[in-house]
Structure 1
Amino acid sequence: MARRGRTSIVREVKEALDAIDRIGHSKKLAREKGEHAIHSIKQKENTMSDAQNFAKWVRAEHGVKSLGDLEEKHYQKYMAYLNEKGLSKGHMRNVETSLRFLQEGFKTRSERFEGGSEHFKGFCPEKRIVSYQINENIQNRAYTLQEMDAIKKNCSNEVQNAVDLMYGLGLRVKEAANIQAGHFHKDEDGWRLQIARGAGITKGGRFREIAISNAFNERLSSLLYGKASNERIIKVSPTTIRDGINVACKKAGIEQSNRGTHGFRHAYARNRAEQLMTNSERQMMDRILSNREIGRKADYGINAEKDKQLFANAREKMNLIHSELGHGVNRWELAMRYLKN
């Protein structure tokens, strides 16, 4: 049980999440070390909000005064409470993710400040309560070439340049707005984008490396021309880019359908799949994603040696595209969104 005089449960939440704050550090390296940590400011803000709401609820409804007193039954009752409130499955899945961060953070905090966490058994069940339907709200969010041309005709030169970076390199809008000339390097294999320290640029400050397609070389050279190493390619903010694209879409009569600036990344991913995958590998990817769409394992029914090799090849190229987008490996749920026909 919690000791008298210890900090409040809400304060414990903050200390727990601070204990696994790795903002600005490589998520890839953390994953390789088996660490479960927070890597972005937005992720921490959302997790803090979810975790503190949970802490206040268990304190009010069940008299729990310390995270160390939490049990799985509290987790289950809280999720049932959220379900009764009518929250969406997506929201509830996010809460479950936040509570897993909270559990990991409290373990880390206990080891750091109390000399061990043997007394804390955790409160999250092994399996999530909210089922994940991978085909929920799946849609092709990529802009077509015709739509991109129409958008560019209706926005400023700086926003046009940002569109080219987002489509040509798969960058997020914040990345396109903050990337510098010095992040691009040319070697015997051509141009390469390499961001070793991504704080303030990439999502979560993650490392990013992209082998740039020859088709984008000429456009990239024009964007880099005359710029110093520490000079930003784009001179306007992410907000200005978003606003410019919104206005351009309205002028061109283009329905954004929740695509926003991310639609250019989706177009990049699909274009890269066409560049990298053979027809057979593309057909295998469609087969894999069809399996995932109905809840099967990715390799369900893939038994022949030839098919197993195609599966491995398609997965390798999918992971390369994920890497270029700044995603982790084997993210089939993201492949559903970025690559499914």
Structure 2
Amino acid sequence: MSKKRGGNRLKYQVEQSIKKINMIGSSKKAFRDAKTETGIHSVSQVKHALSVSQNFVDWAKEQGVRDLFQLKRSHYREYLAHKQAEGVSNGHLINIETNLRLLEKGMNRISVEKGLSERNWVPKTRLIDTNSREKPQNRSQAPEEVQRYLDKLSDNARIGADLQAAFGLRLREAAKTKVAHIQEKDGRLLWVASADKETLNAAQGVTKAGRERVTPCRPGYEERVRELIQGKEEGQHVVPVKYNTLKSAYNRAGMKGSHAFRHTYAREMLRSELQTRGIEQEGRGMLERMLENREAGYRKDHLVTKDERPLYKIISAAMDQVQEYLGHGSGRIDLAEVYLKGF
């Protein structure tokens, strides 16, 4: 490793370790399909891994650690105990464990490349029970609640909020949306992020991990979206202000995070999917059972009878469709608990 000394050496080693598992731009799904060990696929995850790891090595330096590859399991356990004593939440402790595991993975790759044995300073079993994390909350919003926030936003920030509500976009995606991302097919408006990096509506630099995506507009927002793009060039951004400006405007309006728009979008789109099939009430009941099974530690189809199986399959397919709209993978009952519970 580098000959850098002290804290600088440790921080340099952290940066190199995280760099080894930086796979932004590569498909996580492709790695899973090939049963190949994956790494980090999003900019935000890289930032989190670096931040948590740098805080950890600052503490480790105080314990006499001068080289990252001197770490032992005792350091891991003592650091978690130290953070617990500070009173941080279990959710934060779980995130620390997740990111220290990523750090070890990067260190292992460096060791293997040098012909050395893998590192083994992270316990195989997590110290903090992941079930102790604060339960997911329904962050969808009633129309009147949404309107109260919108009334407090500037005209420019309101455009970002409308895009999020229309397509279920993340705030950063809304800020980076160009006119070219909004397309019409068979009379419906779609938000299309292409895998082709050379196109104006490229997913790269816009969606999480640069994943391509096709997301339909909520019918009630189509007229507003057409109004927003009217008269603008394909390469123009729809929102005339940057991401940080949008985020600040939301905070000033009293909004507790921008994901509420995605939650509302998810619920409304699932309701629409089931209404189209004429099974909204039955669908609600089946989804509730699936989520209760997850909470109890069972498979999501636990106690689903043979006669109920067709309905179960329809609900699963509808859930997967909505998750796809949001840019999530299929079969994610964990995300359904966050986005769709109590729709």
TM-score range, shorter chain: 0.7 to 0.9
Deviations 1:17-41 (CA, angstroms, capped at 9, x unpaired): 0111223444444444434322333
In structure 2, the residue matched to 1:229 is: 234
Letter in structure 1 aligned against 2:322: I
In structure 1, the residue matched to 2:166 is: 168
Against the structure 1 CA distance between its residues 72 and 319, is the aligned structure 2 distance closer, same or farther, given a 3 Å change threshold?
A: farther
Equivalent position SS for 1:49: helix
Equivalent position SS for 1:306: coil
Equivalent position SS for 2:130: coil
In structure 1, the residue matched to 2:272 is: 275
**TM-score, structure 2 normalization:** 0.82
In structure 1, the residue matched to 2:290 is: 288
Higher relative contact order (CA 8 A, sep 6+): 1
Equivalent position SS for 2:189: strand
Deviations 1:155-182 (CA, angstroms, capped at 9, x unpaired): 3333332222111100122211210011
In structure 2, the residue matched to 1:22 is: 23
Out of 171, 182, 203, the residue aligned to residue 208 of structure 2 is 203
1:72-111 aligned within 5 A: 72-111=73-112
Letter in structure 1 aligned against 2:67: K
CA–CA separation in structure 2 for the residues paired with 1:100 and 1:182: 40
Query: How far off is 1:97 after superposition?
Result: 0.8
In structure 1, the residue matched to 2:259 is: 262
Structure 1 residues 23-32 or 164-173, which shifts more?
23-32
CA–CA separation in structure 1 for the residues paired with 2:90 and 2:178: 39
Structure 1 residues 101-110 or 77-86, which shifts more?
77-86
| RMSD of equivalent CA atoms | 3.0
Equivalent position SS for 2:184: strand
**TM-score, structure 1 normalization:** 0.82
1:42-121 aligned within 5 A: 42-58=44-60, 60-61=62-63, 63=65, 65-67=67-69, 69-112=70-113, 114=114, 116=115, 119-121=117-119
Unpaired runs of 5+ residues, structure 1, are 250-255
Deviations 1:100-127 (CA, angstroms, capped at 9, x unpaired): 1112212223344x1x45x115333333
- Conserved? CA contact 2:179–2:237, under 8 Å: yes
Against the structure 1 CA distance between its residues 318 and 135, is the aligned structure 2 distance closer, same or farther, given a 3 Å change threshold?
A: farther
Against the structure 1 CA distance between its residues 241 and 54, is the aligned structure 2 distance closer, same or farther, given a 3 Å change threshold?
A: closer
Against the structure 1 CA distance between its residues 110 and 132, is the aligned structure 2 distance closer, same or farther, given a 3 Å change threshold?
A: same
Against the structure 1 CA distance between its residues 122 and 142, is the aligned structure 2 distance closer, same or farther, given a 3 Å change threshold?
A: same
CA–CA separation in structure 2 for the residues paired with 1:134 and 1:232: 42
